[in-house]
Amino acid sequence: MDFIFLARRLLYTNQTDTFRFFNRANSEGRTTLKTKIAGLSAAALLAASLSMPASAAFISGTISFSDGLDTLGDIVSNLTLFDIGTPTNASGGTGSFLGVAGLTTTSNIDTTAPGGVIYSIGGFSFTLTSISALSSDPLNCAGGLCEDSIEFNIAGTVSAAGFDASTFIGKWTANGTCLEGVPGSCEAGTESGSWSSSVVATGRPSQTPVPATLALLGVALAGLGWTRRSKA
């Protein structure tokens, strides 16, 4: 059986024509049931591969970001909106990000409604889609200095010209400090903060559609069942 021809039939013809093709092949005695199943599977796999881009250039590697943080007169563990400011420093690029460093355009992070492009540097744009595993350490004061922190996992899509959009994951951390005023609390106007984030581009597609292979194989197996019923 010509698998390439069969794959093209699966891709470019309607189901009725495809089923007629299988039925004709069976009536002419050119294939057994076992061979037909193997052929259909191979054709579905081939058809799926033909429908994919010839060369996928997914983004992979690591990069880190860090900068000061405007705590808006509060401590970081109480915040849900982080004004991370711009520009921001980027460093430690590896893989696709090798040599990418310097100032980065950033956008605020809202833990209650994650979204939007949070980092842009060297032609790469990082779009945040989810935040998870949020945890915080409340204000702790000792020796006249108070500190707190918050961290969470981030995930999203990184894209750039010449690359296919890819998934990224990472961790985002903020640390706050202030002078102790009333015992156990910050002296007004002394609050400050900093943040850092390390991300990993996974080299995998940003979205995983329903596998074309399974869809095509389903059509093929449906054709097989139709053929068997017709023969009976």
DSSP 103-172: EEEE--EETTS--SEEEEETTEEEEEEEEEEEEEEEEEEETTEEEEEEEEEEEEEEE-TTSB-EEEEEEE
Identify the pLDDT of residue 142.
95
Rounded average pLDDT over 38-67: 64
Q: What percent of the chain has pLDDT above 70?
A: 65
Q: Please give the C-alpha separations between residue 216 and each of 25, 39, 125, 165, in angstroms, as whole numbers.
A: 19, 12, 34, 25
Q: Which of 117, 86, 78, 80 is nearest to 102 (CA)?
A: 86
3-state helix, strand, coil in the chain (%, to 5): 30, 40, 30
Rounded average pLDDT over 161-173: 96
Q: Which residues, listed in sequence order, are joined to residue 178 by a DSSP beta bridge? A: 146
Confidence of residue 70 (pLDDT cuts 50, 70, 90): confident
Q: Is 78 helix (H, G, I), strand (E, B) or coil?
A: helix
Confidence of residue 56 (pLDDT cuts 50, 70, 90): low
Rounded average pLDDT over 23-30: 53
Query: Is the CB of residue 117 less than 8 Å from the CB of residue 104?
Result: no
- The mean-pLDDT minimum among 96-110, 154-168, 171-185 falls in 96-110
Query: Is the CB of residue 166 less than 8 Å from the CB of residue 197?
Result: no
Burial class of residue 76 in the structure, from the number of CB atoms within 10 Å of its CB (0-12 exposed, 13-18 middle, 19+ buried): buried
| Residue corresponding to tokens 């995998």 | 204
Identify the pLDDT of residue 170.
98
More confident residue, 138 or 228: 138
Identify the pLDDT of residue 28.
52
Q: Is 176 helix (H, G, I), strand (E, B) or coil?
A: strand
End-to-end CA distance of the chain: 22
Question: For 63, which DSSP code?
Answer: E
Q: The pTM is what?
A: 0.67
Q: Is a pLDDT exceeding 80 seen at residue 213?
A: no
- Chain mean pLDDT for the chain: 77
Q: Is a pLDDT exceeding 80 seen at residue 95?
A: yes
Identify the pLDDT of residue 129.
97
Query: Is the CB of residue 206 less than 8 Å from the CB of residue 157?
Result: yes
Identify the pLDDT of residue 187.
94
Rounded average pLDDT over 184-196: 93
